[in-house]
Amino acid sequence: MQKIMVGIKRVVDFNVRIRVKADGSGVMLDGLKMSVNPFDEIALEEALRIKERGSNIEVVAVSIGVADTQQQLRTALAMGADRAILVQTDAAIEPLTAAKVFLALAKQENPDLILLGKQAIDDDANQTGQMLAALWERPQATFASKIEFSTGKASVTSEVDAGLKTIEVDLPAVMTVDLRLNEPRYVKLPDIMKAKKKPLDVTSLDALSVGATGWLKTLKTEPPPQRQKGIMVKDAAELVEVLKKKGLI
Q: Which of 147-151, 210-214, 215-219 has the highest mean pLDDT?
A: 147-151
> pLDDT (tens digit, 9 = 90+) per residue, 126-141?
999 999 999 999 999 9
pTM: 0.87
Burial of 146 (0-12, 13-18, 19+ CB in 10 A): middle
Residues 6+ apart with CB under 8 A from 220: 24, 25
Instruction: State the average pLDDT for the chain.
Output: 93
Residue 187 has pLDDT above 80, yes or no: yes
Residue type, 247: G
pLDDT of residue 244: 92
How far is 246 from 240, CA to CA, in rounded Å?
Answer: 10
78 in any annotated domain: yes
231 in any annotated domain: no
Pick from 12, 84, 94: which is nearest to 47 by CA?
A: 84
111 in any annotated domain: yes
Residue 17 has pLDDT above 90, yes or no: no
pLDDT of residue 224: 83
26 in any annotated domain: yes
142 in any annotated domain: yes
197 in any annotated domain: yes
pLDDT classification of 249: cutoffs 50, 70, 90: confident
25 in any annotated domain: yes
35 in any annotated domain: yes
The boundaries of the domain holding residue 102 are 3-222
The DSSP annotation for 161-226 comes to TTEEEEEEEESSEEEEE-GGG--PPPPPHHHHHHHTTS-EEEEETTTTT-----S-------PPPP
For 95-108, what is the mean pLDDT?
96
Give the CATH number, domain containing residue 47: 3.40.50.620
Split into its structural domains, the chain has a count of 1
For 63-88, what is the mean pLDDT?
97
Residue 201 has pLDDT above 80, yes or no: yes
Using a pLDDT cut of 70, give the percent of the chain over it.
100
* CB 48 within 8 Å of CB 59: yes
Dihedral sign of CA atoms 124, 42, 183, 171 in order = positive
Alpha helices in 54-161 (DSSP H): 70-79, 95-109, 128-136
pLDDT of residue 141: 97
> pLDDT (tens digit, 9 = 90+) per residue, 24-54?
888 888 888 999 999 999 999 999 999 999 7
